[in-house]
């Protein structure tokens, strides 16, 4: 039986308008602007995003430094495989709370083209409601700017909808919190199985926050199979506005 999507967290009128019309919105203390639209990895992703959203691309390319590692999930290579579940230690930059410690990477032969490059990830590898996360170096009390793409996995004859969250918080010293600690910001949005949807915005670090944990979480999946749902691609984070 198909699971009904839970009601998403209230995002306020400004953010709702941003979702509908693609206009950046602000939230107290932190900001975010959900949008819709396309794909890549590292500087290639930044170039593709700037080309698509040229009117916002006012920062020189030399200043658009990518802060994430392997944000397009292009490593490790799938080779001739359609998809593979890799041990998290073999996926540069990323870790997971998946019960088997697996990160699932897809190629373009599963009926879904990558938004950027040739590969992307499914958040639910062997469990349900899973997260993948990585730590990035940041400056305290500074805005960073993020963008990534989400899509639902097609698991039925009708339209399937998955909800995915991005979360920012200070990297814990003991590594005990997937979502990080303090100065936390999260945003949840949903997507269907017909196209990739872009989410983007900014986040302000807290005092002494020299390392920030960014987490992508499968909040809800249309499938009742614990290993199905929540496709993500093209996470890019920069410390300069106008890079997207």
Residue 154, domain extent: 30-238
Model confidence pLDDT, tens digit, residues 207-218: 999 999 999 999
Give the count of alpha carbons within 13 A of 70, CB side only: 21
Does residue 18 fall inside a structural domain? no
Model confidence pLDDT, tens digit, residues 133-150: 999 999 999 999 999 999
CA angle 16, 65, 31 (to 5 degrees): 20
Does residue 160 fall inside a structural domain? yes
Does residue 77 fall inside a structural domain? yes
pLDDT for 196 beyond 90: yes
Structure tokens at 172: 């814990």
Does residue 98 fall inside a structural domain? yes
Does residue 126 fall inside a structural domain? yes
pLDDT for 77 beyond 80: yes
Cβ count near 217 (within 10 Å): 23
Provide the CATH number for the domain around residue 54. 2.60.120.260
Give the count of alpha carbons within 13 A of 60, CB side only: 2
Overall domain count for the chain? 1
* Mean pLDDT across the chain: 81
Model confidence pLDDT, tens digit, residues 90-136: 999 999 999 999 999 999 888 899 999 999 999 999 999 999 999 99
Q: Which residues contact 223 (CB under 8 A, 6 or more apart)?
A: 2, 3, 153, 155, 156, 160, 229
DSSP letter at 239 equals: S
The answer to whether 206 and 170 are in contact (CB under 8 A) is yes
Does residue 3 fall inside a structural domain? no
- Over residues 220-235, the mean pLDDT reads 94
The answer to whether 26 and 217 are in contact (CB under 8 A) is no
Does residue 23 fall inside a structural domain? no
């Amino acid at each position: 039986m198909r699971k009904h999507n839970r009601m998403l967290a209230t995002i306020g009128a400004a953010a709702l308008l941003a979702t509908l019309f693609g206009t950046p919105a602000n939230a107290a203390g932190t900001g975010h602007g959900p949008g819709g639209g396309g794909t890549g990895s590292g500087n290639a992703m930044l170039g593709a995003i700037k080309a698509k959203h040229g009117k916002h691309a006012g920062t020189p390319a030399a200043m658009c430094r990518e802060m994430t590692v392997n944000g397009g999930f292009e490593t490790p290579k799938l080779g001739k495989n359609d998809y593979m579940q890799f041990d998290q230690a073999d996926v540069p930059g990323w870790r997971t709370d998946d019960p088997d410690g697996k990160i699932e990477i897809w190629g373009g032969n599963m009926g879904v083209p990558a938004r950027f490059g040739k590969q992307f990830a499914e958040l639910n590898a062997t469990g349900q409601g899973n997260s993948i996360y990585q730590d990035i170096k940041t400056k305290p009390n500074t805005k960073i700017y993020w963008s990534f793409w989400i899509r639902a996995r097609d698991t039925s004859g009708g339209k399937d909808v998955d909800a995915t969250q991005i979360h920012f918080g200070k990297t814990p010293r003991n590594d005990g919190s997937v979502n990080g600690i303090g100065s936390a910001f999260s945003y949840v949005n949903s997507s269907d199985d017909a196209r990739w949807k872009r989410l983007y915005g900014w986040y302000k670090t807290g005092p002494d926050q020299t390392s920030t944990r960014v987490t992508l979480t499968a909040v809800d999946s249309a499938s009742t199979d614990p290993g199905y749902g929540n496709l993500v691609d093209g996470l890019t984070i920069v410390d300069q506005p106008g890079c997207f």
